[in-house]
Structure 1
Amino acid sequence: MAPTRILTRDEELGVISDDDDSPSGKRSKLDRFPLSRWELAVSLGVFLVFSSGLCCIYMTMPAAEFGKLKLPRSIADLRLLKDNLANYANEYPAQFVLGYCATYIFMQTFMIPGTIFMSLLAGALFGVFKGVVLVVFNATAGATSCFFLSKLIGRPLITWLWPDKLRFFQAEISKRRDKLLNYMLFLRITPTLPNLFINLASPIVDVPFHVFFLATLIGLVPAAYITVRAGLAIGDLKSVKDLYDFKTLSVLFLIGFISILPTILKRKKIVE
């Protein structure tokens, strides 16, 4: 299958400027917002729909001291949030899980930083098994929403933000069409490419949804286990950077290597 050429925004619109090589032309490209009015309206509409659903869920939850609740941005914030939520989660487990899932999926869909703290919180409040199930479910659901949102309006945005990285990703995907699931598993398990980029770029480079979904569902389990397990000892954790030391990264890359081993063996047989 021939790789799909990624068009620039001007090429998509059929606009070619004579002075693109001039300094002013380059400056205008950098300053130009990539989304059209229609695409911006669609993105805002989707955001409002998700926001309204999240607000409705919050409004139906039992009363709490919401002034103490905020998205954690540090380990210290996370410890305070965990203390404030522990009793609430025990008294209203179903409502709390619903609110937790809605918040996690919302953050993942719209690329809001902080989901790693939500994963640590899952370990601190629910333990390893329930925590991993929750994190993998929410991360997969959020990545799926992000995938379809990017499929709708993501091409100009990601081409504008990461043109070189997108070309590299497209070339790698094109070379591995026959064993694409293995390659996507490798990317999900290892920190080779950020998950945010994978979510946005996959529909642009024609990664089939079933491959994207399976790779996300399975590939996020190792990292989710590491993060959730760390949440059990949140009092000893000083920084998020402590989660991924050399030993942890080595284990993730070993698991990732195992996932692409069939591809390597197949290529070796073909060469022979």
Structure 2
Amino acid sequence: MRSLFGLIAVVSAATLYLYTLSQYLPPAPRRNPPPSAEADHVQTDEPPQPEDEPNRLKFPSDLEELRELAELLQFYKTEHTGYVLLLFCSAYLYKQSFAIPGSSFLNILAGAIFGLYDGLFLACLLTTVGSTLCYLLSQAFGKRYIVNFFPDKVSALQKKVEDNRDCLFFFLLFLRFFPMTPNWFLNMSAPIVNIPITFFFSSVFIGLLPYNFICVQTGVMLSELTSLDDLFSWDRLLQLLAIACVALLPGALIRRFSQSRLKLDVRAQNGVMDKKVK
């Protein structure tokens, strides 16, 4: 019972912090008025009227809304870069730490706002730190509840971990590249099945790098597209080819290694391979 109260306290404190951070927005930077507005101001000698800035942020539902949100945040961070960065990192860590779906969208948004290199660095860092916080929260508060709610899954994962204890790091990489177990469940159950935190941390950073790259690069491309015709230009096609290579090559290497070293019982799920690897 103490662990439940402790978890509720942590979730409540983190929620209150994120809510407070989102409520105390600093004033948005003013846009320079167009030349016509300046001329009207000179002729009428009236004070300029402030523009109504769309300060409310919402999750985009289509390409146009994503581009508008990225443009708004890019404009906003010209004078408040630290605040935008803090808000983005806090929201990302909140989702990752408490295993809330939506990190893929935040990866795409990172690419749209911060660009490829900064966005990829942020996505990898925040994914790793957030997953590690989830690991620590589960270790401190959630072991009993996870075992009670998912006894079969925990038992199956425990057996696979023990079978591959001599090459545990590569086994964890395999699980990240080929998620037979959802990432959120692996994050929460890792301390229960005695996965060292150092192996866990490194495997998250390396194993999710291709996935993060795909999402961030997608965000960069979506923020730059003005029409569907741009998607089929030679530059975009080459970028898509590079994304495919980045996504497939590490997975192919890990799979080749797994066939000779790992002990896996991989059954068909949603079209995934159906074979036993010894």
The TM-score, its normalising length taken from structure 2, stands at: 0.70
- Give me the whole-angstrom Cα distance separating, in 2, the residues matched to 1:61 and 1:55: 11
Q: Which amino acid in structure 1 is aligned with residue 211 of structure 2?
A: A
Aligned partners of 1:189 and 1:252 also within 8 Å: no
> Once the two structures are aligned, what percentage of the paired residues are identical?
33
Partner of 1:81: 69
In the alignment, the residues of structure 2 paired with residue 191 and residue 131 of structure 1 have an alpha-carbon distance, to the nearest angstrom, of 23
Seen in structure 2, the aligned counterparts of structure 1 residues 267 and 56 have a Cα distance that, compared at 3 Å, is: closer
- Unpaired segments of 5 or more residues in structure 1? 1-36, 239-244
Counterpart residue type for residue 256 of structure 1:
G
CA drift at 1:107: 1.1
Name the one with the larger helix percent: 1
Q: Which residue of 1 aligns with 2:188?
A: 200
One of 128, 132, 140 as aligned partner of 2:128: 140
Match of 1:157 in 2: 145
Instruction: Please provide the CA RMSD for this pair.
Output: 3.1
The alpha carbon displacement at 1:188 in A equals 1.6
Q: Does 1:256 align with 2:244?
A: no
Alpha-carbon offset, residue 146 of structure 1? 0.4
Q: Specify the SS of the correspondent of 2:203.
A: helix
**Contact kept in structure 2, 1:109 and 1:146, CA below 8 Å:** yes
Are positions 1:62 and 2:26 aligned together? yes
Distance 1:40 1:266 in 2: 40
- Partners of 1:201 and 1:266 in 2: how far apart? 23
Call closer, same or farther: CA 1:253–1:171 in 2, change over 3 Å: farther
Partner of 2:7: 43
Question: Mapping of 1:157-196 within 5 angstroms?
Answer: 157-196=145-184
Deviations 1:69-125 (A, max 9, x none): 13x274455444223322112332222112111110011111222211111011111
Greater gyration radius? 2
Query: TM-score w.r.t. structure 1 length?
Result: 0.71
Matched position secondary structure for 2:85: helix
Distance 2:244 2:185 in 1: 19
CA drift at 1:141: 1.0
The answer to whether 1:130 aligns with 2:118 is: yes
Match of 1:26 in 2: none
Q: CA deviation at 1:136?
A: 0.6
Amino acid at match of 1:211: F
User: In the aligned structure 2, how far is the partner of 1:99 from the partner of 1:134?
Assistant: 13
Q: Which has the higher contact order (CA 8 A, sep 6+)?
A: 1
2:177/2:208 contact within 8 Å kept = yes
Q: Which residue identity is paired with 1:63?
A: P
Deviation string 1:166-194 (CA, Å, 9 cap, x unpaired) is 22211110101111011111112233321
Q: Is contact 2:7–2:141 with CA below 8 Å preserved after alignment?
A: yes
The answer (yes or no) to whether the contact 1:78–1:117 under 8 Å persists in 2 is no
In structure 1, how many angstroms separate the alpha carbons of the residues matched to 2:190 and 2:256?
22
| Cα deviation code 1:228-267 (max 9, x no counterpart) | 00012226699xxxxxx9x978964652342365565457
Partner Cα separation in structure 1 for residue 191 and residue 121 of structure 2: 26
Please say if residues 174 and 258 of structure 2, whose CA atoms lie closer than 8 Å, have aligned partners that are also in contact: no
Letter of the 1:132 counterpart: L
* Matching residue of 1:210: 198
